[in-house]
Amino acid sequence: MAAGIGSRYGGLKQIDPVGPHQQIILDYSVYDALQAGFGKVVFVIRKEIEAVLKEFIGGRYEKDVPCEYAYQELDALPPGYSIPANREKPWGTGHAVLVCESVVDEPFCVINADDFYGRTAYREMVRFLSNADTITNIPNYAMVGFSLPNTLSYHGSVSRGICRIGPDGHLVSVTERTNIEKTPEGIQYQDEHGVPYPLTADEAVSLNFWGFTPSLFSHLHGMFRGFLEEEIDDPKAEFLLPSAIDHLISTKQTVVTVLTSSDRWIGVTYQDDKADVSSHLDELVQAGVYPEKLW
């Protein structure tokens, strides 16, 4: 998913170089995915930034792997709906996945373009997706969970999907929390009214590293219509993928297996995060985890 506006970052963080040879985070993600066994890449973008993103990302990978593009536009709506006059931001991560339906007909993994997840997550996901349709009699999806303290920014608050995991390793619920940050009293989040609530620091969080089969699209169609019926006039409302999956779990329409990775997650929410990401990637290159030049 590379269609985000990056309002807190102040620019197109999807293509901001962070590696020792001007690599972007997505370079490492695609490299890890191909090494793990994935065979196609779909980029979710906006036409507004199509030219610059295609120049950066398409030219890097198209010689090594089939590439497709899906467009997350405000007018990508079901028949009977139109864009409200006050709508500017994209419809959310659930909508970003939904617009891929025409170019995805195989088991697939969803990631954020501006998050570095580490190679273990991709290997675990390939292993899972190879058998996803044979585990239960309802769709079985997967999510890679990360430890909350390892996903915070030193430079401001973040939003995360807080997960509850059952003893069988299945996801019980995922609740989107905003304005999560470290404070002198510990890790807290704020609700929509700005009221702070403590977190334990033991939580597993979703960072939009999901594994699905194409059966997901039919579910998303119905839920997106429901979202529009209730929220279309709210300019800030988003159809979020974690919330959609939470609904499918609570209504027993899917099972979600939680995969784990000990690799460190890093990402760029704010401009000041960039130096931290660059330092970590340089360490991995120096340790021989990645070659200096990926492509």
pLDDT of residue 216: 95
User: Which DSSP letter does residue 170 get?
Assistant: B
User: Which of the listed ranges 73-77, 147-151, 205-209, 259-263 does the model predict with the highest average pLDDT?
Assistant: 73-77
pLDDT of residue 135: 55
Q: Give the domain range for residue 173.
A: 13-286
Average pLDDT over residues 248-274: 86
pTM of the model: 0.86
Residue 2, in any domain of the structure: no
pLDDT of residue 53: 77
The string of DSSP codes covering 86-101 is T--S---HHHHHHTTG
Q: Give, in order, the Cα–Cα distances in Å from 139 to each of 131, 135, 162, 253.
A: 11, 9, 22, 7
| pLDDT above 90: percentage of residues in the chain | 55
Residue 6, in any domain of the structure: no
pLDDT of residue 14: 66
| Whole-number average pLDDT of the chain | 88
Residue 192, in any domain of the structure: yes
pLDDT of residue 187: 95
pLDDT of residue 8: 42
User: Which DSSP letter does residue 241 get?
Assistant: H
Q: Is the pLDDT of residue 282 over 50?
A: yes
Assign residue 179 a region: left if phi > 0, alpha if psi is -120 to 50, beta otherwise? left
| pLDDT above 70: percentage of residues in the chain | 95
Residue 26, in any domain of the structure: yes
Q: Is the pLDDT of residue 277 over 50?
A: yes
Select from 18, 20, 185 the least CA-distant residue to 113. 18
Q: How confident is the model over 3-29, as pLDDT tens digits? A: 765 444 344 666 777 877 778 888 999
Residue 1, in any domain of the structure: no
Q: Is the pLDDT of residue 96 over 60?
A: yes
pLDDT of residue 133: 62
Residue 133, in any domain of the structure: yes
Q: Is the pLDDT of residue 184 over 80?
A: yes
Residue 46, in any domain of the structure: yes
What number of other Cβ atoms are within 10 A of residue 276's Cβ? 17
Q: How confident is the model over 47-89, as pLDDT tens digits? A: 888 888 787 776 788 888 999 999 999 999 999 999 999 999 8
pLDDT of residue 12: 61
Residue 4, in any domain of the structure: no
Contacts from 222-226 at CB under 8 Å and sequence distance 24+? 223/94, 223/247, 224/78, 224/91, 224/94, 224/95, 224/98, 225/78
Tell the burial category of 251 from Cβ atoms under 10 Å away from its Cβ (0-12, 13-18, 19+).
exposed
CATH of the domain at 116: 3.90.550.10
pLDDT of residue 149: 87
Q: Is the pLDDT of residue 129 over 90?
A: yes
Q: Which has more pLDDT, 267 or 237?
A: 237
pLDDT bin (cut points 50, 70, 90) of residue 1 is confident
> How many domains is the chain built from?
1
